Structure 1
């Protein structure tokens, strides 16, 4: 198999994250092509996605397949943007501790 040359994006989840140890298919996030990777990495759970899907330009396959219309090569900036999106979604999946202050005599 030739070196494909496509980019991937990964983030590390700490052990306290609710999706630590989860299969990537069970994590409800929206990233390019969906999550395609999850594995233990030292003390973190690493999850990620790749940029080798239908419609993506894959440098290692350019000589082997015909170009499709509207193909896109995912640059480092594209992947960084997708990673920021992923981190934001993962942050929102964490439970929040909200302390309600009783200012009007009503129990919360």
Structure 2
């Protein structure tokens, strides 16, 4: 799988300055040791999330994250297939966004108002939505011959003690929060990939 970095896809104007200013907001790559696809995606709070793709046939493919015994930052918090990027999905997304207009008018500095402003172009342009969704969603671009419908197992770095950039300029949680940068999340993905690769199919009973 080709390594792809997506930059400047999130508006950080209201955040305090930090290492996140120069980081990608999403990366896809193939783990060298295991060959598994990996993702890093910046979440709504500005913190990074890491994901490793499980191919069909693996015991954990399709399983809930609580069913997978791994050691990773904060524990697993995500298990799902690739985000769908299609015209039908776009139309449903548009309906939900338009339904939030009353909320945006009532709370002009709230999440709904921010999202409608940030995604204004994509509300009317499907092709623009595809480009932006690809740079923001939990999905990847597989190379020819690679499994496409992988099952993503993921973790996030927005737990107690983690610094979330989008909150740092608006809320004070003390001086003990630590921002988990790209290098940290990439190492955690590598560790998660090794743990996933070590799980084997159960032996069939012979009788």
How does the TM-score come out when normalised to structure 2? 0.43
Aligned pair 1:92/2:198, yes or no?
yes
- Structure 2 equivalent of residue 10 of structure 1: 51
- Structure 2 equivalent of residue 53 of structure 1: 159
In 2: Cα distance, 1:25 partner to 1:12 partner: 16
- Structure 2 equivalent of residue 39 of structure 1: 80
Q: Report how far residue 86 of structure 1 moved.
A: 0.3
- Structure 2 equivalent of residue 71 of structure 1: 177
Deviations 1:17-55 (A, max 9, x none): 111100011100011011111112251111111110100
- Structure 2 equivalent of residue 101 of structure 1: none
| Structure 1 stretches lacking a partner, 5+ long | 98-108
| Structure 2 stretches lacking a partner, 5+ long | 1-13, 15-43, 83-147
In 2: Cα distance, 1:77 partner to 1:46 partner: 20
Query: Alpha carbon RMSD of aligned pairs, Å?
Result: 2.0
Aligned pair 1:22/2:128, yes or no?
no
Q: Report how far residue 95 of structure 1 moved.
A: 4.0
Deviations 1:80-106 (A, max 9, x none): 000011011111122488xxxxxxxxx
How does the TM-score come out when normalised to structure 1? 0.79
Q: Report how far residue 63 of structure 1 moved.
A: 2.3
C-alpha contact (below 8 Å) 2:55/2:149 kept by paired residues:
yes
Q: Report how far residue 69 of structure 1 moved.
A: 3.8
In 1: Cα distance, 2:159 partner to 2:171 partner: 14
Q: Report how far residue 70 of structure 1 moved.
A: 3.0
